[in-house]
Amino acid sequence: MRLRYGAEEEAFRAELVAWLDANVHGFENLRDNKRSSAYLTDEARAWQQMLFDNGWLVPGWPPELGGRNATPPEQMIYFEEISKRDLSRSLNPQGLGIVAPSIRDYGTPEQIERFLVPTLRAEIAWCIGMSEPTAGSDLASLRTRAEVFDDHFVINGQKVWTSGAHHADWCICYVRTDPEAPKHRGISAVIVDMQTPGIEPRPFPELSEATYLDFNEVFFTDVVVPRENLLGELNKGWALTQGSLAHERAMLWIDYAYLVERILENLVDLADRPGPGGKALRDDPDYRDAIARTYVDSQAIMLMGYRGFAKFMRGKAAPEHSLLKLVGSEVMQNALLAGSDALRAEGLDQDLMGPHLWRRGAWAAQWMRSFSGTIPGGTSEIQRNIIAERVLGLPR
Ligand SMILES: Cc1cc2nc3c(=O)[nH]c(=O)nc-3n(C[C@H](O)[C@H](O)[C@H](O)COP(=O)(O)OP(=O)(O)OC[C@H]3O[C@@H](n4cnc5c(N)ncnc54)[C@H](O)[C@@H]3O)c2cc1C
């Protein structure tokens, strides 16, 4: 099922499709599993700048910020077309998707001038220092300390899971600036130059691919940061953490909806292969169930997404968005597991087939990677807590 749009919106789609058809050539496969999420290749910079210059980078924003003041339905069309083609807008997704909106919303005029357009034009790359060894889901218990002086901060502590820190130019680092205050109230966000003396990023590999280095531990020892790099108000950094994650979640479901559909097509393509006992997989009731379940779930994601969108358009709160992150990431994971199970040992080196696949690679590796959807931005368990308490109103 697909939402139908009006003539004006379809004209917007036609313009976008024509632009993509004319310009995307050579930029379709920017994603590179060997490079970190803050490593911007020349092609990636050129593509992001081209999107920016033509108002197709963040269509809902004004032209001077890489957009064209697109309406919400037009923005949805935009994300549909980008997801359908499996295009990356940026090779530094945390810079474009989280840092840029945070700076736009909380930055001083000087910070906006200094960082916003260079981030949007892929001139600089970012990492985000939130998680610590003892502060992940419970982010508010972070311990990295920033002592506050008249014109600077001095940071000491450790972050972990910091994607792309070894390649990033800048970091939005969440630090404790008031150790006496209740834990949510003593946190600030500071913009840190990753070249500052005292910062040591130590990259470490992912479970799914030993040669892929994106995660880092980052150690801060007496790191001096100018006071003007405070983002938002002192001790009010918690508001930014909530804003950052909301930006991340806003239209994520469209991507999940299209990814699940693509995995579903792949599951159907495997159905003629022999399964356990030599019979074709299509005759295996478990495999047929997995296909049917994935199909039903993919439709549910789409419908739930549309419902949330309709509420958003009427200015109402849309709890569907908490559900969509949970359901989208878990449905994708289950569908990848069904394919890996069906292929058994072959799943270790048989690639998912079909055009424009998200992060190419074998079924089993894709399944392992899919955990990257169910952990960051609030694990599945945390999402369930939020849904239970804030959506269903259940007691703690
Ligand atoms: C691909 C990826 C990229 C990431 N990038 C970054 C980054 O760039 N910057 C950054 O700062 N962090 C990043 N992270 C870290 C991510 O934000 C944390 O992994 C996440 O917040 C979970 O924290 P944790 O790993 O410390 O697990 P914990 O919080 O220690 O959780 C461990 C387990 O306990 C469960 N649990 C915890 N609390 C509760 C509760 N109250 N109720 C029920 N269950 C609970 C969790 O669901 C989980 O299963 C990234 C993670 C991944 C996977």
> For residue 254, is pLDDT > 90?
no
**Cβ-contact 64, 12 below 8 angstroms:** no
Taking the C-alpha atoms of residue 84 and residue 93, their distance in angstroms, rounded to an integer, is: 18
**Cβ-contact 274, 281 below 8 angstroms:** yes
Taking the C-alpha atoms of residue 136 and residue 21, their distance in angstroms, rounded to an integer, is: 42
Taking the C-alpha atoms of residue 320 and residue 307, their distance in angstroms, rounded to an integer, is: 8
* Among 34-38, 209-213, 361-365, the range of highest mean pLDDT: 34-38
The β-bridge relationship of strands 187-193 and 199-205 is unpaired
> How does DSSP classify residue 196?
S
Taking the C-alpha atoms of residue 111 and residue 120, their distance in angstroms, rounded to an integer, is: 14
Give CA 229 to chain center in angstroms: 25
Find out whether the beta carbon of 208 lies less than 6 Å from any atom of ligand 1: no
Does the annotation count 248 as an active-site position?
yes
Taking the C-alpha atoms of residue 218 and residue 195, their distance in angstroms, rounded to an integer, is: 12
* Band of pLDDT at residue 160, cut at 50, 70 and 90: very high
* Band of pLDDT at residue 355, cut at 50, 70 and 90: very low
> For residue 304, is pLDDT > 70?
yes
> For residue 264, is pLDDT > 50?
yes
Atom of ligand 1 nearest to the CA of 174: 11
Give CA 195 to chain center in angstroms: 25
**DSSP of 385-396, one letter per residue?**
HHIIIIIS----
> For residue 140, is pLDDT > 50?
yes
> For residue 363, is pLDDT > 70?
yes
> For residue 8, is pLDDT > 80?
yes
At 84 the pLDDT is: 87
The more confident residue out of 367 and 346 is 367
* Band of pLDDT at residue 356, cut at 50, 70 and 90: very low
**Annotated catalytic residue: which of 248, 261, 320, 389?**
248
Lowest mean pLDDT among 85-99, 118-132, 171-185: 85-99
Three-state DSSP at 77 gives helix
Pocket mutation for ligand 1, best pick of 99, 126, 139, 379 (most atoms within 8 Å of C-beta): 379
This prediction's pTM: 0.92
Lowest mean pLDDT among 65-79, 158-172, 234-248: 234-248
CA angle 284, 287, 290 (to 5 degrees): 150
> For residue 245, is pLDDT > 70?
no
Angle, nearest 10°, between helix axes 285-313 and 320-343? 160
Pocket mutation for ligand 1, best pick of 171, 375, 384 (most atoms within 8 Å of C-beta): 375
The more confident residue out of 121 and 4 is 121
- CA-proximal residue: ligand 1, atom 25 (nearest): 136
At 354 the pLDDT is: 52
* Band of pLDDT at residue 246, cut at 50, 70 and 90: low
Q: What is the mean pLDDT of the chain?
A: 90
d(CA 378, ligand 1 centre) in Å: 7
At 353 the pLDDT is: 59
At 33 the pLDDT is: 65
Find out whether the beta carbon of 379 lies less than 6 Å from any atom of ligand 1: yes
At 372 the pLDDT is: 85
Instruction: Give mean pLDDT, residues 80-91.
Output: 90
Instruction: Give mean pLDDT, residues 142-161.
Output: 98
The more confident residue out of 150 and 316 is 150
The more confident residue out of 238 and 4 is 238
Find out whether the beta carbon of 130 lies less than 6 Å from any atom of ligand 1: yes
The β-bridge relationship of strands 199-205 and 145-148 is unpaired
At 360 the pLDDT is: 63
